Amino acid sequence: MLASKQCLECLYNQIKNILDIFPQTNNDDILQEVRKNLKKLPKAPPPKIAVPIYKKLSTMSNQKDFYKQIKETGIQKAHNITQNLKQNLPLNNPYETLKESIKIAALGNIIDYGSQTHFSFENFSSAADFAIFDFEIFEKMLQKSKKILYFADNAGENLFDAILIETIYRQYPNIQIFYLTRDKPIINDITLEDITQNTLCHPLQKFCKILSSGMASPGFIYSDAPKKIQKMFNEADLIISKGMGNFECLENIKDSRLFLLFKIKCQVVANFLNIPIGKMIFKQNIY
């Protein structure tokens, strides 16, 4: 999915919002450079365009990870929420457990940690409002799978992903699961360092192998990935792509193994899919 004019304006506003929260002495210079660079960038998916823009921000501000504290707070709040959700899983019914675990993973893409600290299992069903839910074919393919690739998204969201990953591991202990993070800090996306340095994230390592995707972009771009990761992608029996950034980069790869799991958060994506903002998607990427 190629970036539109609205995407470029959104990216500019992201940088402006960061500088509003974390003011720099050269705010105006940074914004001027960002605006200038946005005019020169070639057509590409929004996450690919974000890389040089965030690199410019990092260089001009001398800040490696603006969102470090916000990510840590998000992980703590996600931990509190997911403990309740996990306890309410229907463990006596594996089919329903898997289905609900997918919905819980999707919730990580819904929750605004700043305003929904008291999110509860009772309002879970109404919050997870799916326009597409290709669960049956996913469940059938899972039964025959030996290797799963799971592309991570935001910090905190990884704890929701962990519930789905643990469910798959316990139901199919012979499946190898690889959880791929961003290679470097960008926005509030989860990195390998974020996971290894935060003890709340450590339990995930019992159920999967956590790796860097080798990608600095807030979305997995197959053509830019290291050969090792491309090989893993090619050899996987199932691929779970989490979040809108990964969707924007992978939607053009029509592959029965690829399942896209995200919330529609902007009008551009809503128009692209012809589905309203706010709806959840769990889509086998063959159409």
Closest C-alpha among 202, 282, 271 to residue 1: 271
What tens digit of pLDDT does each residue of 46-62 get?
999 999 999 999 999 99
Enter the DSSP assignment of 189. Answer: B
Q: Whole-number mean pLDDT of the chain?
A: 92
What tens digit of pLDDT does each residue of 183-193 get?
999 999 999 99
Rounded Cα gap, residues 244 and 54, in angstroms: 18
Q: Which residues contact 273 (CB under 8 A, 6 or more apart)?
A: 131, 264, 281
Residue 111 — pLDDT band, cuts 50, 70, 90? low
End-to-end Cα, the chain, rounded Å: 14
Q: Give the pLDDT of residue 117.
A: 39
In angstroms, how far is CA 234 from the centroid of its own chain? 20
Q: Which residues contact 9 (CB under 8 A, 6 or more apart)?
A: none
Q: Give the pLDDT of residue 123.
A: 53
pLDDT above 80: residue 109 = yes
State the virtual CA torsion across 30, 32, 35, 40 in degrees, nearest 10: -100
Q: Give the pLDDT of residue 127.
A: 67
Kindly state the tokens that stand for 197: 């340095």
State whether CATH 3.40.50.360 applies to domain 68-284.
no
- Rounded to two decimals, the pTM is 0.93
Residue 113 — pLDDT band, cuts 50, 70, 90? very low
Q: CA quadruple 133, 136, 138, 142: dihedral positive or negative?
A: positive
Helix, strand, or coil (residue 67) = coil
Helix, strand, or coil (residue 243) = coil
pLDDT above 90: residue 105 = yes
Domain boundaries, the chain: 5-61, 68-284
What tens digit of pLDDT does each residue of 148-166 get?
999 999 999 999 999 999 9
What tens digit of pLDDT does each residue of 232-252 get?
999 999 999 999 999 999 999
